[in-house]
Amino acid sequence: MKKFLRLADFIFIVFLILVLVLPSVVKAHSAYLAGLISITWVIFIGARIYNKSSEKVIVLGDALLVVYIFLLLWELATSKFAWLDKFLYPTPGVVIKMFIEDMPFLLKGLLSSSGLLAGGFGLALITAIPMGLYFGYKKRLKLAAKPFAKILGPIPPIVYIPYAIAVLPTFRAASIFIIFLGAFWPIFINTLNGVSDIDKKIMDSARMLNLNDRQMLLNVILPGSISAIMSGATIGLSFSFILLTSAEMIGATSGMGWHVKYFSDFADYPRVIVGILFIGIIVTIITFFFDKLEKYLLRWRKT
């Protein structure tokens, strides 16, 4: 029966009782917290029934356990015993309630941020990958590009923000440009190195087929360096997020980074926490799909 009662279940039940039975000292909306943990627990039970292979279930159970303990401590420290300052530390119930109520507003911010992200990161992808492939393929261009990459690459792109805002006509253009710069160098440098790292034997086999430059780039160099390109793109993507939110905190009037900064200025900390959580969730979702894409593109590799 051990299989059917995990530590997470035990904690869940204790937790649920504590949340619902213990009286709250502040207006805590504990019902929202009870609702959230109940939903996650039902999902957990569902996963156990649906997916008998235990590896993933164990991981999920462990993760839930950590989340439950964290939430429980938070709940006890705020709504139940008020150990923490109630102005700076909202209760979990309040944050969950606000997260749900603010969802349309949050999604509007996401839309605004997506435009900047897609513009900057997309521009970096469509310039850095072809350039990296071609420069990597042509030895002379590669040697010419390397010193520039070495000098310009390591400059933290965040330092360009004030100047870019001053020089470029709109804040939007400035943000896209900075995100582009931040993502360009890691993608370009990784692609360049990826091309150099293609096994010499593979290049020999390709040369035996007398391919023209276009075929060589599309059918050999691109797939041969896709792993390096994807790791460059992953670094570029996380830089993009940092730059996106930084730029928004400095000069935007909408978006996910702006949300956090704006409500901090009003000391509306529940909304600040909601904004941070929302960014975390969005980044996780995008990274998840990015990993899926990488797995698909590299499906020919030995697993």
Partner 1 sequence: MSKLVVKNVTLNYANGNKSNTTALENINFSVSEGEFLSIIGPSGCGKSSILNLFTGLLSASEGEILLNGKAISGTGLDRGVVFQHYSLFPWMSAKKNISFALSQSFPSKSKKELTRIAEDYLGAMGLKGFEDKFPAELSGGMQQRVAIAKALAMDTELILMDEPFGAVDSKTRVVLQDKLLNMWDSGEQKKTVVFITHDIDEAIFLSDRIIVMSSGPGRVKREIAVNFARPRDRFSLTKNAEYAHLRNEIVSLFYDDLASKIGGEEVVL
Query: 């042509």: which residue's tokens?
Result: 138
How far, in Å, CA of 248 to CA of 63, rounded? 32
Provide long-range contacts, Cβ within 8 A and 24+ apart, for 285-293.
286/237, 287/234, 287/237, 290/233, 290/234, 290/237, 293/230
DSSP label at 212?
-
Least distance CB 227 / partner 1 (angstroms):
10
Question: Of 57 and 129, which has the nearer Cβ to partner 1?
Answer: 129
Question: Of 61 and 223, which has the nearer Cβ to partner 1?
Answer: 223
Question: Of 211 and 286, which has the nearer Cβ to partner 1?
Answer: 211
How far, in Å, CA of 133 to CA of 147, rounded? 17
Question: Of 51 and 205, which has the nearer Cβ to partner 1?
Answer: 205
Question: Of 38 and 215, which has the nearer Cβ to partner 1?
Answer: 215
How far, in Å, CA of 221 to CA of 203, rounded? 9
Question: Of 173 and 211, which has the nearer Cβ to partner 1?
Answer: 211
Least distance CB 219 / partner 1 (angstroms):
7
CB 8 within 8 Å of CB 64: yes
Question: Of 191 and 245, which has the nearer Cβ to partner 1?
Answer: 191
Residue numbers at the binding site for partner 1 (CB under 8 A): 199, 201-202, 204-211, 219-220, 223-224, 226, 299-302
Least distance CB 226 / partner 1 (angstroms):
8
How far, in Å, CA of 86 to CA of 219, rounded? 61
Instruction: Read off the tokens for 87.
Output: 């102005």
Least distance CB 99 / partner 1 (angstroms):
43
Least distance CB 287 / partner 1 (angstroms):
24
Task: Give the CA diameter of the chain.
Answer: 79
Least distance CB 216 / partner 1 (angstroms):
11
- How many CB atoms are located within 10 Å of the residue 204 CB? 9
Least distance CB 222 / partner 1 (angstroms):
9
- How many CB atoms are located within 10 Å of the residue 133 CB? 23
- How many CB atoms are located within 10 Å of the residue 224 CB? 19
